[in-house]
Amino acid sequence: MTYLVLSLATIPVLVFLAAQDFKERMIYSFPVLVLTGGWVMHSVMLYLDRPFVLISAWSTAVALYIAYRVCGVWGDGDSDMWLLFTGIILCTFDVKNMLQYGFLLCICLAGAQVAALIAGLVEAVIKKRKLDRHSDLAVVPGFAVILIAILINGFSREVCIL
């Protein structure tokens, strides 16, 4: 039931943040951080029997989050989305070990980046701009597309179980 509530709260926020990132190239981190807290608590409940996976996954996510913030790889809001991304993946998929976790993260992150690139191409056509390697791409819409797909998948599995 917690997954359903978190999903229903997260999907509209993701749509809003994607639109905000297109519009202003910035997002409001507060809803992302609040939702991340909910997903963290849910992941703790799900992985009580596998504390190594839980601690390792969140330690890795936080270490990467700090690296993203310090090195300026992404904007601050994009880095906050990374934590939400991690929480949703842990709560949607039944991660058995760190290898599976790493594989899921890589596949989903690659999907998010491809979705962000496609969104950037569409945005460039709409705004009649040329897209080159120095162009500013919105990352959050890519995250939003992948996370919404993951949430719909998880949501449908939860509904079938009920």
What would the pLDDT profile of 18-75 be if each residue is shown by its tens digit?
888 777 776 777 888 899 999 999 999 999 999 999 999 999 999 988 888 888 767 6
Q: What angle do CA 129, 133, 139 make, to 5 degrees?
A: 80
| Cβ 152 vs Cβ 88: under 8 Å | no
- Crossing angle (nearest 10°) for helices 140-161 and 76-92: 20
Long-range contacts of 63-71 (CB under 8 A, 24+ apart): none
| Cβ 146 vs Cβ 115: under 8 Å | yes
When divided into structural domains, the chain yields a total of: 1
Say which residue, 27 or 88, is predicted with more confidence: 88
User: Whole domain around residue 68: which residue ranges?
Assistant: 2-161
In three-state secondary structure terms, 73 is coil
pLDDT tens figures, 93-135: 999 999 999 999 999 999 988 988 888 788 777 777 776 666 6
Residue matched to tokens 């913030």:
69
- Predicted pLDDT at 88: 93
pTM: 0.85
Question: pLDDT grade, residue 148 (50/70/90)?
Answer: very high
Radius of gyration, alpha carbons of the chain: 16
Q: What angle do CA 75, 143, 138 make, to 5 degrees?
A: 45
Could you tell me the two tokens for 132? Answer: 């080159």
- Predicted pLDDT at 151: 92
- Predicted pLDDT at 149: 93
Which amino acid does the sequence have at 30?
Answer: F
Could you tell me the two tokens for 11? Answer: 């999907």
